[in-house]
Amino acid sequence: MSQEHLFLAASINGTGWSGRSARWPGTSPRRFADPAHYVEAARIAHRGVLDAVFVSDHPALSPNAHSGPHHVFDPIVLFSAITGAVPDIGFVLTASTTYNSPFNLARRLASLDAFSGGRLIWNAVSSFNPAVAANYGSEPLPPREERYRRAGEFLDVVKQLWASWDLPDELAPDGALWDEAEARPIDHHGEFYDVRGPLNVPVGPQGHPVIAQAGASQHGLDFAARHAELVYAPLPGKEVARDRARLLTERATAYGRDPDGIRLFPGLNLVIADTREEAYRRHEALQGVADEEGLIQAFLTRGFGVTPELPPGVGPDDPLDPAWFPVLTAEGVFGTVGHSLAVTELVASERLTLRQLVRRVDGSHRLIVGTPRDVAEGILDWWDDGLVAGFNLQLPVLPDDLVRFVDEVVPILQAAGATPKSYDGSTVRERLGLPDPRLTTPGTAAVAR
Amino acid sequence: MSQEHLFLAASINGTGWSGRSARWPGTSPRRFADPAHYVEAARIAHRGVLDAVFVSDHPALSPNAHSGPHHVFDPIVLFSAITGAVPDIGFVLTASTTYNSPFNLARRLASLDAFSGGRLIWNAVSSFNPAVAANYGSEPLPPREERYRRAGEFLDVVKQLWASWDLPDELAPDGALWDEAEARPIDHHGEFYDVRGPLNVPVGPQGHPVIAQAGASQHGLDFAARHAELVYAPLPGKEVARDRARLLTERATAYGRDPDGIRLFPGLNLVIADTREEAYRRHEALQGVADEEGLIQAFLTRGFGVTPELPPGVGPDDPLDPAWFPVLTAEGVFGTVGHSLAVTELVASERLTLRQLVRRVDGSHRLIVGTPRDVAEGILDWWDDGLVAGFNLQLPVLPDDLVRFVDEVVPILQAAGATPKSYDGSTVRERLGLPDPRLTTPGTAAVAR
């Protein structure tokens, strides 16, 4: 099975990625706390026949009361509620392997996959935020290596649970609703978890939810190579994307896994306006600066957790040297390794100037600032090159910019044949052309079918 | 605020309380695994203007493959999905204080309460099932005393979290979305939990979800007196109900709590048919026996985990002696203390014969076997006496018996003025006439209002 169309998701966290979105003109500042806001965003995405809506998550209140919080309602509840109200649209649900128990999360995700008819993608994260750790009595945050060891065992357990009760269509010969071979304890005893099983939710409409992964440190890549079907990564440039694909292919192969079962799904931040000039001005306003010089200054000041410094005599129109960007590999620094790496690689491969860079990346994700046609062409360029399975769209102000994307960009993508004009009832796994885990996972009950 | 109408909920676990319901004539045996079944049940309850639907829960697969499992989909997902599809109806959601973390559960319940507009009742259970413990690496099951000590601390933490971010309607003077006094860490450090907070979901539409409780051991009663607003109890007879109310009033008062903030909400099992004789035959068929003698024999065989034995010379038409019913207080016995106590008390207070008892209790809950009018009168009798806030209806075959209740019993209750003919947009807390916790809980931000 191969992927037939570009897979598009839209982030619906808070009121958009811009820290100014909550108080953007025309937006109610309390919108982030209104459940109807999220249902409406999903309805707009559905109108554009997008494949999914996405939420990232940190289970902790943002300490910044001046920008709208990105993580309010629990993603499991949020998407379950939307499931009942909006058909077809898929869900990329972020949930932590560090702060859930495997039985509870396996059951909740399997339940949502059943209620949505196979629309669930689980973005498995190991959590890196000390404020989150403090809400779970696990301060200090466990070291990255331990979090990923735990995450690996967590995935092993969850996948076994998802295959542990394969409810047949027919009753057993003695009239039982299932027989022993179809509901088997997993009897897992590992370093972090002891879980008997079986799960009390049967194997679901797509075998199990599609597994996505977001971390891009060395531990994160390793985890992705073993478990991820969809890799949500900051890939700001084509060479970065090719490099990531190569790395994942190598590592997956080393684990004996078919690398064709992994799809790249980078973030894509958008600033859309009628003209390019208007888009530039909107970009600056969204960043709270007056002009392009302000963007450059803000980049230098904020950097990526550590301020890069331009050497004496180097200006914003000189090519940047990647050596100026310290990579955050130290444990305990707030921020992720993968984001810094992505920008460093972009600078190295494209020899960008700082003036170019500030219009090309946002939070280390690829950024397009321009007209609806600029955006569509930027999307089609990568899709036609076969670089990615699709994009996770990150809009600065919700729902306004999502409306604009759906009304003005989607028709161009549809006209190009890249995205469909209606839903066809398929699961998100089918839309991604990913294999059914019942046919590929050794040791599951269904492998003999 | 007082309670204006009888509060009715309907259990929608599996395909009904009868072990034979999954293969009852006219029922698809796979119905328990079909999400649409649960949404349909909620729609039927909504048609009858019932206050809520209820699910009990054990996160473990039933070992009995011959009866439909009662606990499949996770209740948080199930009710969140129904929230998006069915308006008005409330949710009694069972979730364990032993097998969830307080931050996760507080956030998930607050999220669902927000998405449903104040329709959530949390049935807090400490879990007593060793098969569940084995799914969470906590074998052997912790002793009851420890589970309730943990449950008490869990409730203290969750209530503090629910009051920790009180998002005001107005922006702060400096334009911030909230200020420090409105989002406060709880900094809890206890025997079982360390939780910093605040919760990243603001105070919800009913202050916090209504808290229900089901255990009826001495530890359970104590927990109810401290925390419960709704007590879901097996109360098979009026004297048992009065006794329970007295006990709860005494204990709540001893804790300095106003006992008026506690409502009794017993289970009520129903077998409904056009005539009383037909109802008797249906009752027998649902129990898998041929006649009333079969019911009597089944009761003696199954008992309540320990077989009661009639002494020599005593027949099914002689009054029972409560001393014949051993009460299961030993730790580790599968079953709950409260259920056995309730039947023992019923036998003691009403001097029932075994022949009477088998038509009066089911699983230690009150049972009515009869016509729609018998059922309505049995409900109105207790409501008119002021014994209970309402009932949790347990129907043997879903959705058939729920349809019958809604179509044939509800009109009688409505004609008597006991239940409303339409929803008025109130929260479940308002329907129960329970006080807003923001006005009664000392130490919350809202107490000064």
Do residue B101 and residue A103 have CB atoms under 8 angstroms apart? Answer: no
Asked if residue B15 has pLDDT above 50, the reply is yes
Q: Measured between alpha carbons, how far is B150 from A166 in angstroms, rounded to an integer?
A: 35
Higher-confidence residue: A123 or B1? A123
- pLDDT band, residue B306 (cuts 50/70/90): low
Cα–Cα distance for residue pair A65/B243, rounded to 1 Å:
51
Identify the CA nearest to B79 among candidates B48, B49, B123, B47: B123
**CB contact B108 to A (< 8 Å):** yes
Which residues of B fall within a CB distance of 8 Å from A78?
80, 111, 115
Which chain B residue's Cα is nearest to A180? B65
- CA distances for A75 relative to A81, A215, A231, B254, B317, angstroms: 10, 19, 19, 40, 58
- A186 CB within 8 Å of a chain B CB: no
Nearest CA among A95, A134, A136 for reference residue A112: A95
Which H helix or E strand runs over B96?
Answer: strand B90-96
Instruction: Delimit the domains of chain B by residue range.
Output: 7-277+366-448
User: How many CA atoms within 13 Å lie on the side-chain side of B348?
Assistant: 13
Chain B contact set for A89 (CB, 8 A) = none
Q: Do A81 and B81 touch (CB under 8 A)?
A: yes
Distance, in Å, from the CA atom of B414 to the CA atom of B424, rounded to the nearest integer, reads 15
3-state helix, strand, coil in chain B (%, to 5): 40, 15, 45
Q: Does A106 touch chain B (CB under 8 A)?
A: no
Q: Which of B63-72, B163-172, B341-350 has the lowest mean pLDDT?
A: B341-350
- Residue type for A219, please? H
Query: Residue A74's closest chain B neighbor by CA?
Result: B108
Region B10-17: what's the mean pLDDT? 96
pLDDT at B303 over 80: no
Class of domain A7-279+364-434 as given by CATH: alpha beta
What pLDDT score was predicted for residue B181?
A: 83
Helical ranges in A287-394 per DSSP H: 292-302, 337-350, 354-360, 372-384
- In this prediction, residues B25-54 reach a mean pLDDT of 95
Q: What is the pLDDT of residue A321?
A: 83
Q: Is the pLDDT assigned to residue B360 strictly greater than 50?
A: yes
A305 vs B: CB within 8 A? no
| Residues of chain B positioned with their CB less than 8 A from the CB of A66 | 175-177
pLDDT, mean over chain B: 90
Disruptive mutation site among B76, B135, B154, B201 for chain A (greatest number of A CBs within 10 Å): B135
Rounded CA-CA distance B406/B441 in Å is 37
| Residue type (1 letter), B140 | P
CA distance to partner chain A, nearest, from residue B111 (Å): 5
Contact B33 A78 (CB under 8 A): no
More confident residue, B439 or A156: A156
Q: What is the chain B residue with the closest CA to A62? A: B200
Report yes or no: A62 at the B interface, CB cutoff 8 Å. yes
* Nearest alpha carbon to residue B367 among B247, B286, B431: B286
Fold of B7-277+366-448: TIM Barrel (3.20.20)
Q: Minimal Cα distance from B198: which residue of A?
A: A61
Q: Which residues of B touch A59 (CB under 8 A)?
A: 103-104, 107, 200
Q: Which two tokens stand for residue A292?
A: 């392009």
Work out the pLDDT band at B353, boundaries 50, 70, 90: very high
| Chain A residues within 8 A of B139 when measuring between CB atoms | 194, 196
Residue B413 pLDDT greater than 70, yes or no: yes
pLDDT at B276 over 80: yes
pLDDT tens for chain A, 449 residues long, are 689 999 999 999 999 999 999 989 888 889 999 999 999 999 999 999 999 999 999 999 998 898 889 999 999 999 999 999 999 999 999 999 999 999 999 999 999 999 999 999 999 998 878 899 999 987 777 888 888 899 999 999 999 999 999 998 888 888 899 987 899 999 999 999 999 999 999 999 999 999 999 877 788 889 999 999 999 988 999 999 999 999 999 999 999 999 999 999 999 999 999 999 999 999 999 999 999 999 998 888 776 545 566 778 888 999 988 777 655 444 333 345 566 677 778 888 899 999 999 999 987 899 999 999 999 999 999 999 999 999 999 999 999 999 999 999 999 999 999 999 999 999 999 999 999 998 765 433 332 22
Kindly state the average pLDDT of the residues B371-382: 98
Q: How is B280-348 classified by DSSP, letter by letter?
A: HHHHHHHTT-SSHHHHHHHHHHHTTSS---PPTT--TTSBP-GGGS----STT-SS-HHHHHHHHHHHH
Are A200 and A114 within 8 A, CB to CB?
no
The complex scores an ipTM of: 0.94
In terms of CA atoms, which chain A residue is nearest residue B117?
A35
Closest CA–CA distance from residue B98 to any residue of chain A (Å): 12
Query: Which of A153-157, B242-246, B306-310 is most confident?
Result: A153-157
For residue B279, what pLDDT is reported?
A: 98
- Arithmetic mean of pLDDT, B130-136: 92
